[in-house]
Amino acid sequence: MAKLVFGMNQSLDGYVDHMGFGPDPVLFQYFVDQARSLTGSLYGRRLYEIMSYWDDEHPEWDEARRDFAAAWRGCPKWVVSRSLTSVGPNASLLEGDLATAVRALKDRHDGVIEVGGPDLARSLTKLGLIDEYKIYLHPVVLGEGAPFFAGSKPKLRLVDSTRIGNEVVRLTYVPA
């Protein structure tokens, strides 16, 4: 059975914003390696549309970005959306009741399926389907934006804290 893991970069004040800050080279390489190891990715519509940037080649990319794009393209993606009618390569729309569809997805696969997007994570947290939360805590204060925990306030237990690079700490939690 696959494990659902919700992880995102987060500011010190609890917000996620891909435009407000990003990974340094060490953390970016960590994400490349992580993408290579995933069973798949489960996205909400908004984050899937942002991440689909990696489907296209960009001549200005360095080697690390090309490596991430290759890993991302090779990873199966499932997209939860009521408005999309189609998705890009190696992606499919997850249909039907969310709880039933995600449970079936977990049952059909082994390994780690990452959950992308705080809104989708909120819904899956309410359903008790997320097995692990990974916060990549950056030394940035945004003051506003989308919160990592969008509405849900799950009881959690810290199981690991690891420094990645010079500035980021990965905090790993499981439901208590």
DSSP track, the chain = --EEEEEEEE-TTSEE-TTT----HHHHHHHHHHHHH-SEEEEEHHHHHHHGGGGS--TT--HHHHHHHHHHHHS-EEEE-SS-S---TTEEE--S-HHHHHHHHHHH--SEEEEE-HHHHHHHHHTT---EEEEEE-S---SSSEESSSS----EEEEEEEEETTTEEEEEEEE-
pLDDT above 80 for 152? no
Q: Which of 82, 3, 56, 68 is nearest to 29 (CA)?
A: 68
Is the whole model's pTM more than 0.85, yes or no?
A: yes
Residue 49 has pLDDT above 80, yes or no: yes
Q: What is the pLDDT of residue 149?
A: 87
When pLDDT is cut at 50, 70 and 90, the band that residue 70 belongs to is very high
Task: Please give the backbone phi and psi of residue 85, each rounded to the nearest 5 degrees, phi first.
Answer: -110, -15
What was the pLDDT predicted at 150? Answer: 78
Q: What is the mean pLDDT of residues 52-72?
A: 95
